[in-house]
Chains A and B, each alone.
Chain A
Amino acid sequence: GNSVTQMEGPVTLSEEAFLTINCTYTATGYPSLFWYVQYPGEGLQLLLKATKADDKGSNKGFEATYRKETTSFHLEKGSVQVSDSAVYFCALSIYNFNKFYFGSGTKLNVKP
């Protein structure tokens, strides 16, 4: 089947620390991969995406590379800020993008 597994949180970092949130997937087809972010009291916002193997998605200093050989899409940022504190969801979509499969989310707390 289709599923996404991401590291459990919460992850607590100091400002300017390096961030990695692990995400692996299983898919019956050839998926597109996404990271969504959810700030307190808000809906999901697309952070970045990658549609084929070896693609790198990037946005606001965050990056993730679609690794087909390891079925992974790990999220990284070189220097986190307090404003990055949120819940991050890894997700995949198959075929004609009529459905998204989400991981359980990883809460990031960044302390000044």
Chain B
Amino acid sequence: DTGVSQNPRHKITKRGQNVTFRCDPISEHNRLYWYRQTLGQGPEFLTYFQNEAQLEKSRLLSDRFSAERPKGSFSTLEIQRTEQGDSAMYLCASSPTLAGNTEAFFGQGTRLTVV
């Protein structure tokens, strides 16, 4: 499968625990994005990487959230001291840096439930 891969698909955690999600983008895609989607809403931008550099972070990304892409390939999103409001679908997407490129390819997401 050569699409965007996210793991785990589902995560249930107790409030206050830390969780980490992984995203493997399409090979050779320079750009990687994280979005959050709550029930009944569209995805909201969290952060964006160009290779290993994190170029933009949303205000939604509080201090408890950290994302990395250490070698410009896979990325991790960590949430510390989870809260019930963190329950959502976390989507990863990737795209190539090509002139005129206008498409991002999304993974199936990681659904987080904080109890």
Which A residues have a C-beta under 8 Å from some C-beta of B? 4, 32, 34, 36, 41-46, 49, 51, 89, 91, 93, 97-105
Given contacts A43-B4, A44-B106, A51-B102, contact A103 B31 (CB under 8 A): no
Contacts of A42 in B (CB 8 A): 108
When distances are taken between beta carbons in the complex, the residues of chain B under 8 Å from A49 are: 102-103
C-alpha gap A36/B100 in the complex (Å)? 19
- Chain B: CB-nearest residue to A50: B102
Total interface residues on B, CB under 8 Å, equals: 27
Q: How far is the CA of A97 from the CA of B30 in the complex (A)?
A: 12
Q: What is the bound-complex CA distance between A83 and B44, given in angstroms?
A: 27
Query: Do A98 and B48 touch across chains, with their CB atoms under 8 A apart?
Result: yes
Decide if B41 is an interface residue (CB 8 Å cutoff). yes
Q: Interface residues, chain B, CB within 8 Å of chain A? A: 4, 31, 33, 35, 40-45, 48, 50, 55-56, 91, 93, 95, 100-109
A67 to B115, CA, bound (A): 45
- Nearest chain B residue, comparing its CB with the CB of A8: B40
For the complex, give the distance between the alpha carbons of A45 and B55 in Å: 25
